[in-house]
Amino acid sequence: MTLEGSLEARVSTDGTGSSAVAFRFTVTNAGPEPIELQFSDAAKAEFVVQNAGQEVWRFTEGRAFMQMLSAERLAPEESTTYDGEWEEPRPGEYTAVAELRAQDASCEARTEFRVPESE
């Protein structure tokens, strides 16, 4: 069973600091029925940074996440938020892609952002 049609997503970033960029990924149940999201580890969302279509950073790369089954229930119109942070970003223009890592549901969102030169 897939729930893509019932989930809406958006991602935002502060995009203003040169020492780190914080990402906020919000997933909303836009359907009329409750949804239960099943996860197999502690990484519930993936954040990828791209420059001109090329991947330059991935949140889960080189990180270990506790293997644990968990679930989150979203009532109709209810949202949940996942956060990530890119430490020591390089200056430039980027696209952030956030993706839900649930076992039986997927959705993603994108946003453009800029990392300024250090002052």
Q: What is the CATH number for 108?
A: 2.60.40.2360
Question: Which range of residues forms the domain containing residue 46?
Answer: 4-113
**pLDDT digit string, tens, across residues 34-83:** 999 999 888 899 999 999 999 999 999 877 777 788 899 999 999 999 99
Q: In total, how many domains does the chain have?
A: 1
Residue 119 lies in a domain: no
Burial class from Cβ neighbours inside 10 Å (0-12, 13-18, 19+) for residue 12 reads: middle
Instruction: State phi, psi for 21 to the nearest 5 degrees.
Output: -120, 125
pLDDT digits (tens, 9 = 90+) for 80-107: 999 999 998 999 999 999 999 999 888 9
29 belongs to a structural domain:
yes
Q: How far does Cα 95 stand from its chain's mean position?
A: 12
Give the CA-trace dihedral at 47, 48, 49, 52, to 10 degrees: -150
Residue 118 in any domain: the answer is no
Q: Is residue 27 part of a domain?
A: yes
